[in-house]
């Protein structure tokens, strides 16, 4: 088979690798082309064409079999982690230093992540004090690509009455982030499910407050939680 030359330093390639990384999860499961097409907003035929190119690049960036899905190769994973590191460092910088609203940092970082130099990456990292997490609670990969697995699950699968801690919130939808911000639902806060309504909404409390809040199923899906322990901050 003839090796196709793929320019690995393009926004399109980076976006594919990052999307496969996100959809594959901590276990690096194979990602269906349909899921990739939905996330990227690209036609299935275009997805297939790009995956074939990435698989036949030198070195291969993905492992791809038609009808069996795709996963990152070691080279593709390294590049994906580099882009994820750029993105999350930029989000932290925009939020903490430039005071961007949390619902705006994702899109801004998307535009910048492909172009920062290693020198600027290092200076941002140092300026922020070598952060471990971005403003949404997602792990920032280390410079060597190491990243601990996060143990969270969606709020929607939690048990009523269980004491929980928000580990992270999704950065994919600005309107959802605005709702979470308005309700003071941020990484690190404790919450408890008081009731699940028949219409799919959730009734929760935050921290030690007795005030109840109603959130939609869509918003609940954007909240990743883990059980509270004595070691979790208030």
pTM beyond 0.85: yes
pLDDT bucket at 1, cuts 50 / 70 / 90: very low
Alpha-carbon distance of 109 to 87, in angstroms, equals 5
Count of CA atoms in the C-beta half-sphere (13 A) of 146? 3
Chain segment 103-128, per-residue pLDDT in tens: 999 999 999 999 999 999 999 999 99
Burial class (CB in 10 A: 0-12, 13-18, 19+), 29: exposed
Which CATH fold topology does 11-72 show?
Arc Repressor Mutant, subunit A (1.10.10)
Chain segment 37-87, per-residue pLDDT in tens: 999 999 988 999 999 999 999 999 999 988 889 999 999 999 999 999 999
Above 60 in pLDDT, residue 234?
no
pLDDT at residue 162, as a whole number: 84
Percent of the chain predicted with pLDDT > 90:
74
pLDDT bucket at 3, cuts 50 / 70 / 90: very low
Q: Give the architecture-level CATH label for domain 85-149.
A: Orthogonal Bundle (1.10)
Could you tell me which residue, 66 or 94, shows the higher pLDDT? 94
Compute CA distances 59 → 1, 4, 66, 128, whole Å. 14, 10, 19, 34
pLDDT bucket at 2, cuts 50 / 70 / 90: very low
pLDDT at residue 90, as a whole number: 98
CB within 8 Å of 43: residues ≥ 6 apart: 37
Chain segment 169-207, per-residue pLDDT in tens: 999 899 999 999 999 999 999 999 999 988 889 999 998
Length of the chain: 234
Instruction: List the chain domain ranges.
Output: 11-72, 85-149, 153-227
What is the average pLDDT across 84-98? 97
pLDDT at residue 232, as a whole number: 58
Nearest to 221 by CA among 138, 133, 161, 157: 157
Helix/strand/coil (H/E/C) assignment for every residue in the chain: CCCCCCCCCCHHHHHHHHHHHHHHCCCCCCECHHHHHHHHCCCHHHHHHHHHHHHCCCCCCEEEECCCEEEECHHHHHHHHHHHHHHHHHHHHHHHCCCCCHHHHHHHHHHHCCCCCHHHHHHHHHHCCCCCECCCCCECCCCCCCCCCCCCEEHHHCCCCCEEEEEEECCCCHHHHHHHHHCCCCCCCEEEEEEECCCCCEEEEECCCCCEEEECHHHHHCEEEEECCCCCCC
Alpha-carbon distance of 133 to 148, in angstroms, equals 11
pLDDT at residue 198, as a whole number: 86
Compute CA distances 33 → 27, 76, 85, 187, 234, whole Å. 18, 17, 25, 31, 42
Above 80 in pLDDT, residue 229?
no
Could you tell me which residue, 91 or 231, shows the higher pLDDT? 91
How much is the mean pLDDT over the chain?
Answer: 90
> Which of 96-105, 154-163, 193-202, 207-216 reaches the highest mean pLDDT?
96-105
Do the beta carbons of residue 86 and residue 108 sit within 8 Å?
Answer: no
Above 60 in pLDDT, residue 4?
no
Which CATH fold topology does 153-227 show?
SH3 type barrels. (2.30.30)
pLDDT at residue 26, as a whole number: 64
């Amino acid at each position: 088979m003839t090796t196709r030359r793929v320019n690995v330093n393009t926004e399109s390639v980076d976006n594919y690798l990052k999307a496969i990384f996100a959809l594959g999860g901590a276990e690096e499961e194979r990602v269906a082309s349909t899921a990739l097409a939905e996330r990227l907003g690209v036609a299935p035929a275009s997805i297939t064409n790009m995956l074939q190119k990435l698989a036949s690049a030198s070195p291969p960036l993905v492992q791809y079999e038609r009808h069996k899905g795709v996963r990152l190769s070691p080279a593709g994973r390294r590049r994906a982690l580099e882009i994820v590191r750029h993105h999350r460092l930029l989000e932290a910088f925009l939020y903490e230093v430039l005071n961007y609203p949390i619902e705006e940092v994702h899109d801004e970082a998307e535009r910048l992540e492909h172009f920062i130099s290693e020198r600027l990456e290092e200076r941002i990292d140092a300026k922020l004090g070598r952060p471990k997490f971005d403003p949404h609670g997602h792990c920032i990969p280390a410079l060597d690509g190491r990243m601990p697995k996060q143990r969270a699950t969606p709020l929607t699968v939690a048990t009523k009455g269980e004491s929980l801690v928000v580990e992270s919130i999704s950065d994919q939808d600005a309107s959802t982030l605005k709702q979470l911000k308005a309700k003071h639902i941020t990484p690190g806060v404790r919450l408890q499910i008081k009731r699940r309504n028949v219409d799919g909404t959730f009734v929760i409390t935050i921290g030690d407050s007795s005030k109840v809040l109603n959130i939609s199923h869509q918003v609940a899906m954007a909240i990743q939680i883990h059980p509270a322990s004595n070691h979790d901050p208030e």
